[in-house]
Amino acid sequence: MPCKLSTLPMRSILLSILLLLLALACQPEAANPLDESPYSLDVPAGFPYPDIPEDNELTDARVALGKRLFYDPILSEDSTLSCASCHKQALAFADDVPVSPGVQGRLGFRNAPTLANMAYLERLNKDGGVVKLDLQPVVPIEDHNEMNLPLREAVRRLNEHPSYPADFLRAYGKEASPFTLTRALASFMRTLISGSSRYDQYVNGSVSTLDEAELRGLSLFFSERVGCAKCHQGFNFTDNSFRNNGLYETYEDPGRQRITLDSEDEGKFRVPTLRNIALTAPYMHDGSLPTLEAVAEHYNNGGSSHPNKDTLIHPLQLSEMEKADLIAFLRALTDHAFITNPAFSKD
């Protein structure tokens, strides 16, 4: 049976094709959802610009998506916990308990660290077991005692969500995946830069911002006798090394040894930043020291006799006034603008 189209006059066929082509040509191009507007990162005076991976340049859309994910409990097994549950802005994105509870009240085994200035870390976690900030979110999301959600399930939830798919298209031009999920969270965390404390105002010329006790504490902190700055050095008050500070003679948590399997790394943990230290109690890797006073006493006594204890740890013989002055200086490292910055707050 001959095709009916063949009975039509050829002129009519050509005219129909022409009209169809004209109609297609007149239609607007499909909108590209990808938003590549660069994010303007606020870097304080005296801070270097952080290294940003080429495959995850900061954009407004990526930071906004990461912030939304950071505050959304959708990434936990039972949708009860978000990243912000253990990293609270008012506490410099740390927590105020020794070990934060995860889903179903399960406890991890380490104190939640501040997220301030994570953009400058080359190795993540207290033992340095994660080598890139873009990979770090996998740990809390999948950890049984934290959020306990397989990454593939997190991705499925996000792609079936009514509005997240559009957010991922704007940020990365593709749907949610393990790659885009972790990179979005890393983008937001890279913006959490803290460098506007009264100490920073002092070093940038406002010499009246520190009182006499704080200035005495500053002098002690940087002195050869006390030596705090030998480990807590530079713009972020850390050399990012891993050291045993003599907290215990026997460590339940082996620290960096979990990663290297080297007995000489037992009890070694990352030297933490001291920025906003007054807000991040309790202290140490396990939250075992409740106050700055307890921390000062630990270092003043010289710590335990563990064989891996760093040689810089020794009795300091500080007077009560000197300990108080050191603590006064540490409190001057609090960045109130950071903990109230609406750019970091939940919308």
d(CA 347, CA 19): 50
Residues with Cβ within 8 Å of residue 326, at least 6 apart in sequence: 217, 220, 221, 226, 228, 296, 318
Q: Flag the least confident range among 12-16, 170-174, 178-182.
A: 12-16
Domains defined for the chain, CATH in brackets: 57-193 (1.10.760.10), 198-338 (1.10.760.10)
pLDDT in the model for residue 32: 67
70-107 core/surface letters (b: 16 or more CB in 10 A; e: else): bbbbebbbeeebbbbbbbbbebbbbbeebbbbbbeeee
The conformation of residue 186, written as its DSSP 8-state character, comes to H
pLDDT average, residue stretch 200-205: 96
Of the candidates 133, 130, 125, 146, the one whose C-alpha atom is nearest the C-alpha of residue 73 is 146
Q: Which residue has the higher pLDDT, 109 or 117?
A: 117
> Do residues 278 and 222 lie in contact, with contact meaning Cβ atoms separated by under 8 Å?
no
pLDDT above 60: residue 136: yes
Mean local confidence (pLDDT), 75-81 = 97
Under the banding of pLDDT at 50, 70 and 90, the label for residue 207 is: confident
Q: Pseudo-torsion of CA 277, 279, 285, 288, nearest 10°?
A: 110
3-state secondary structure of 338: helix
What span, in angstroms and rounded, lies between the C-alpha atoms of 84 and 73?
9
Question: Does position 306 have pLDDT exceeding 90, yes or no?
Answer: yes
**187: its two tokens:** 């983008």
φ, ψ of residue 213 to 5 degrees: the values are -65, -40
What does the pLDDT read at residue 109? 85
Q: What is the dihedral of CA 116, 289, 215, 50, to 10 degrees?
A: -20
- Report the pLDDT value the prediction gives residue 108, as an integer from 0 to 100: 85
| 3-state class (DSSP) for residue 115 | coil
Residues 6+ apart with CB under 8 A from 33: 166, 169, 170, 173
Query: 14 pLDDT exceeds 70?
Result: no
Q: Which of 329, 340, 19, 29 is nearest to 200 (CA)?
A: 329
Is 5 a residue whose pLDDT tops 60?
no
